[in-house]
Structures are given as C-alpha cells and as structure tokens.
Chains A and B, each alone.
Chain A
Amino acid sequence: AAGVIQSPRHLIKEKRETATLKCYPIPRHDTVYWYQQGPGQDPQFLISFYEKMQSDKGSIPDRFSAQQFSDYHSELNMSSLELGDSALYFCASRLTGLSEQYFGPGTRLTVT
C-alpha cells in the first residue's frame, strides 16, 4: 500500500539559509499535518491543511510557512534557519471522515 512520502530524507543547511521540505500524502487523503521533533523530545504539531486551506496552527515559528498544492502535496518552507531548528520533521496525512493519521518517514534537518 502507498505510504506518505517525504523528501529529502536528510538535509544539512547552514545558519541563516533556507530549506524546503516536501510531503506527498497517501492518494485520496485530503488532510496533511506537519510535526517537529527535537532531540529527545516528542513530536510537536506545527500546522495542518485540509483541501489546500490551512486548517490549524500550532507552535510554528513566523520564519516557517507552509502550503498545500492542487495535487495535495505540501511544502514546509523554513527561512533564516537557526541551530535550534535542527530536528526531525514529520508529515502525516489523513482522509476526512477517518481519524487515523499516517506518518511519513521524516526529514532529518541539521543546521550547522
């Protein structure tokens, strides 16, 4: 069965650079979620989209933005990167009407 795809899997950036993370949800899933997991921490909700519209927002820094495109894939854009942005970023998708979320393998971002 198709799963959530995230790219890239690993990314190394320097401070003050920008990064773009991509997420391809399971086909027919209309809701996408982004999470950030710092070292030794639990995943924290960043932002979600339903039918290409932002549906909810968590503790997402103003330096980050995200959108969902017409093909339902989503991108998380991160600017002015800081050392503290080093983390594992997960994308998850869900089909409206069902509550279970399906998680991608994550993108490991390292900021040096």
Chain B
Amino acid sequence: GIQVEQSPPDLILQEGANSTLRCNFSDSVNNLQWFHQNPWGQLINLFYIPSGTKQNGRLSATTVATERYSLLYISSSQTTDSGVYFCAVGPTYNFNKFYFGSGTKLNVKP
C-alpha cells in the first residue's frame, strides 16, 4: 500500500506561535484529507485537499501532488488546537482504500 509519513511526530508550542506540519506520500493520490483528533477521540475534518491551497481561518493547507507532499499551517496557535493531526490519503489506483499517517501530536501551552 501507499506509505504516508508525517513530521514532526511531536510538537510543543507556546500559545500564539505558528507551525507547519508535513505529510509525505509515496504514490499518486485522488484524495488527501487533514484531520484533527480532539481529546475525546473525534476526527474533525479540517481540509479535503488532493491538490492546491485552501484556507479556513487560522488554518491553511497546501498540497503539491506532483511532489507528493502536503503542508498544514497553523497560525496564532491556541490551547484548543492541541491534539493529534492526521493526514490521510486515497491512492489513485484504489478508491476503496484510505491510508492514515502516524500523526503529529501537538501540545499548545498557555
């Protein structure tokens, strides 16, 4: 299957700081999504971004499909941003599969 690597695995920020999370994938994809998993375990859908750039408030994401990576930017971080951020991809050769990276665990301190 497709390999999905996220970096960094852990990140500690002071409130108000900015950060960039990276997701590398090993094959062409027709689906790429970023999720935030909150402390209660819910997967919050942040972006559906198989290519291009999107912004939603303090969050933005960019996927460069030809170079097989995606970036998630968090600006002016808040304590409520804490949690695990997952990147997940669906390979072009199989619409029925969806592979998650191992996540970036973010801790924003007040």
Q: Which chain B residues in 60-99 approach chain A with CB under 8 Å?
A: 86, 88, 90, 94-99
Q: Is B33's CB within 8 Å of the partner chain A? A: yes
With contact pairs A99-B31, A99-B90 given, residues A45 and B45 touching in the complex (Cβ less than 8 Å): no
Q: Which residues of B contact A35 (CB under 8 A)?
A: 98
Q: Is A50's CB within 8 Å of the partner chain B? A: yes
The answer to whether A102 and B98 have CB atoms under 8 Å apart is no
The answer to whether A100 and B43 have CB atoms under 8 Å apart is no
Q: Which chain A residues in 48-91 approach chain B with CB under 8 Å?
A: 48, 50, 55-56, 58, 88, 90
Q: Which residues of B contact A31 (CB under 8 A)?
A: 96
Complex Cα spacing A48 to B96, Å: 7
Mask of B94-110 contacts with A, CB within 8 angstroms, 1/0: 11111111110000000
Complex Cα spacing A40 to B90, Å: 22
Complex Cα spacing A55 to B95, Å: 10
